[in-house]
Amino acid sequence: MHSSLKFTFTFLAVALVAASCSSDDIVYKDASAPVEKRVEDLLKRMTLEEKLLQLNQYTLGMNNIENNLGEAVREIPAEIGSLIYFGDDAILRNKMQHRAMEESRLGIPILFGHDVIHGYRTIFPVPLAQACSWNPELVRQGCAVAAQESYSCGVDWTFSPMVDIARDPRWGRVMEGYGEDPYAASVYCQAAVRGYQGDDLGAENTIAACLKHYVGYGASEAGRDYVPAEISDQTLWDTYLPPFEAGVKAGAATLMSAFHNISGTPASGNHYILTEVLKDKWGHDGFVVSDWDAVVQLKNQGMAADDKEAAEIAFNAGIEMDMVDDLYKKYIPQLLEEGKVKMSQVDEAVRRVLRIKFRLGLFDKPYIEEKPESERYLLPESLDLAERLATESMVLLKNDDGLLPLDIRSRIALIGPLSSVRRDHNGNWYGRGKETDVIPFNEGIAEEFSGRLTVAEGCDFEGDDRSGFARAVAAARESDVAVVCIGHKSRWSGENCSRSTIEIPQIQLDLVRAIKATGTKVVLLVSCGRPVDLHLFEPEADAILLTWHPGTMAGRAVAGILSGRSNPSGKLAITFPYTTGQIPIYYNRRNSGRRGTQGIYKDITSNPMYQFGYGLSYSTFEYGPLTLSSENVSRNGSLQASVTVTNTSSRDGQETVHWFICDPVSRITRPVKELKYFEKQLIPAGESRTFTFDIEPMRDLGFVDRTGRRYLDSGEYHIIVGTQQATITVTD
């Protein structure tokens, strides 16, 4: 007999002897009762089997990424706790929910989860790109749109945001996070959580967030996915944990544990991070879901001898929900009998899952209104937002002699493998996004410019076929400017998409060189989901715009920047290495004992191609002097650092001011500089705006040790903005 059928029959038998729930005063069904009372009331009515099903996550359909394809559609019992849902309307969901509510003994709703990473149907730029906007409010709004679209299609829970700090662009998943900096990732993490969850998890159009992959997954050795990471406790606390802590503080309902092994203890079996830090220290009261099949993978990682032991280790470590590998349901009864798991632990795990279901309002409003497509997604205001976020995410890397913006009457040759594609603009992990929704570059530019547009791809992303070069060269010769769209395919980034090099294939470089040789000005549009090696491209281009994978509104956003309808304002949230050989390279490294030419590469520069925070605008900004409200501050006091920025151009523009600190002497040595605050403001042409950093010493100057204890030393600290530095003294 199929195991789930057997299980269903067991349920029926249990149901016959179980207490009747027909009374009107059932507390857990009373929407006005406090959540904790409802949880306890329901918990005490549940059989062990019913409890365990709350801890098991099934999948309906297939995960849409290659390495998870092949998962069969499973038979779903009415009592299941959660489902990864690949439908894109509420109809199927409601059918399943009716089954859960009406055919299960206690009527516990299913929690429907889905990977809504950078949009559901309206696709926003990949998260790494969004981080370059330095506009957390836009990021919040993007997540709110993603929540509204997915909610109206039957999703309650997204496996996002991913807040893994990543400093190795060979890792394919670098695109899913917010870059290399713990502070920036923390701010974006909070924005995303607020966007998805709103102020009230129970309200319509809000969904539960899931911080992932807890923790340190971005440190996977040499950028290879799933492999172990070597992370010291100090680095765990100062680099990898902060965004998760920020997300927990913002009220994130759930977390997903990571796949990898952290210095000998796999994340899926790591009691320290899952229980001691997350629950005991931070007080998280939601639940942790494992990553896909990660519990059973404890065997491959060498931590568990068999499936049963894998379930025991993961459960005891603090993973409440087992994603798709079914081990909890199978083995916890035995583990209870053997005394390896306690009933109180099972209750606590179920309590955490139920708590989130109650907070989401699933018991009181289990079904989703079945609206027509036109009301569910791609709403005009969502598309406007997608364009704005795409625009603000793009980074102008070079603009010699003010080549950009282009004259609206320019004759443009649009060249390169990304000239007319749609799919690659959605990036990887594109939810339910469709390539047919995407505005490609050629369409966006054709609509924006009144001059002639000639499209000649020239070549594909890779390979040796140069037969299209001649047409592309001819098009460039007959045009005022060649816009050459180069980069990576979207499928080159994402899960299981590690690459040994961050280069762009040689054929694209050859194409750019051939175009440059015509003498026509060259604008490069660079699409990618990771920092790429641009050092050989840079000399061939007059202007370079990093577009990333911009999403649904790709063509319109790019055209707006090319024409000057939009003024670029993105700045890098991750360092662009000069070549792959510099990796890892990031701005907030610690100092070396030897300075100057000691310890640098002898064959290439040791400086990055483009540093963290770099990005140009069509406006020019002048920074006034950095001023302090005081040069001394007591440990519990506060002080303000300010700088006035003037837009000296004739074009309105947005400027982001990054505030860094540096503690030059410390018992635990500190990075050369650390971002502690940033702010973006629109500065109209010719006007000035003041940017202020309100410094709270413990929060902004203090540091954690390897146990997570925060402390603040008295003494001197530097405040850094642009090229200026000021010194303040913290007094006892």
> Containing H/E element for 482?
strand 481-487
Query: Taking the complex as a whole, how short is the minimal distance between the CB of residue 320 and ligand BGC, in angstroms?
Result: 16
Nearer to ligand BGC, 179 or 570 (CB): 179
**Residues in the chain, how many?**
732
- As beta bridge partners, residue 622 has 646
Nearer to ligand BGC, 68 or 649 (CB): 68
- As beta bridge partners, residue 627 has 642
Query: Taking the complex as a whole, how short is the minimal distance between the CB of residue 299 and ligand BGC, in angstroms?
Result: 17
> Containing H/E element for 222?
none
Query: Taking the complex as a whole, how short is the minimal distance between the CB of residue 241 and ligand BGC, in angstroms?
Result: 18
Which residue's Cβ lies closest to ligand BGC?
159
Nearer to ligand BGC, 168 or 291 (CB): 291
Contacting residues toward ligand BGC, per CB under 6 A: 63, 68, 115, 159, 212, 291-292, 495
Query: Taking the complex as a whole, how short is the minimal distance between the CB of residue 493 and ligand BGC, in angstroms?
Result: 13
Query: Taking the complex as a whole, how short is the minimal distance between the CB of residue 291 and ligand BGC, in angstroms?
Result: 5
Q: What distance in Å separates the CA atoms of residue 174 and residue 404, rounded to the nearest whole number?
A: 29
> Containing H/E element for 284?
none
User: Residues 88, 115, 156, 291: which is the catalytic one?
Assistant: 291
Nearer to ligand BGC, 46 or 289 (CB): 289
Query: Taking the complex as a whole, how short is the minimal distance between the CB of residue 122 and ligand BGC, in angstroms?
Result: 20
Specify whether the CB–CB gap between 237 and 703 falls below 8 A: no
Q: What distance in Å separates the CA atoms of residue 703 and residue 711, rounded to the nearest whole number?
A: 6
Nearer to ligand BGC, 30 or 71 (CB): 71
Nearer to ligand BGC, 212 or 279 (CB): 212
Nearer to ligand BGC, 213 or 329 (CB): 213
CA dihedral sign of residues 353, 355, 356, 357: positive
Closest-CA residue to 327 (of 299, 355, 301): 299
Sheet holding 395-399, edge to edge: 395-399, 543-546, 521-527, 481-487, 412-415, 453-456
Q: Which residues contact 610 (CB under 8 A, 6 or more apart)?
A: 397, 534, 572, 575, 576
> Containing H/E element for 298?
helix 297-300
Nearer to ligand BGC, 114 or 422 (CB): 114
Angle among Cα 428, 429, 434 to the nearest 5 degrees reads 85
Query: Taking the complex as a whole, how short is the minimal distance between the CB of residue 197 and ligand BGC, in angstroms?
Result: 17
Q: Which residues contact 213 (CB under 8 A, 6 or more apart)?
A: 162, 164, 256, 257, 258, 259, 267, 291
DSSP string of 70-88, one letter each residue:
TPPPPPPPTT-SEEEE--S
> Containing H/E element for 283?
none
Tokens of 124: 């926003």
Say whether 291 is catalytic. yes
Query: Taking the complex as a whole, how short is the minimal distance between the CB of residue 212 and ligand BGC, in angstroms?
Result: 6
Nearer to ligand BGC, 96 or 256 (CB): 256
Query: Taking the complex as a whole, how short is the minimal distance between the CB of residue 495 and ligand BGC, in angstroms?
Result: 5
Q: Residue 94, class by beta-carbon neighbours within 10 Å (0-12 exposed, 13-18 middle, 19+ buried)?
A: middle
Specify whether the CB–CB gap between 692 and 640 falls below 8 A: yes
Query: Taking the complex as a whole, how short is the minimal distance between the CB of residue 292 and ligand BGC, in angstroms?
Result: 4
Q: What distance in Å separates the CA atoms of residue 68 and residue 277, rounded to the nearest whole number?
A: 30
- 395-428 in b/e form (b: 16+ CB < 10 A) is bbbbbeeeebbbeeebbbbbbbbbbebbbbbbbb
Nearer to ligand BGC, 157 or 537 (CB): 157
Q: What distance in Å separates the CA atoms of residue 682 and residue 121, rounded to the nearest whole number?
A: 30
Residues designated as active site = 291
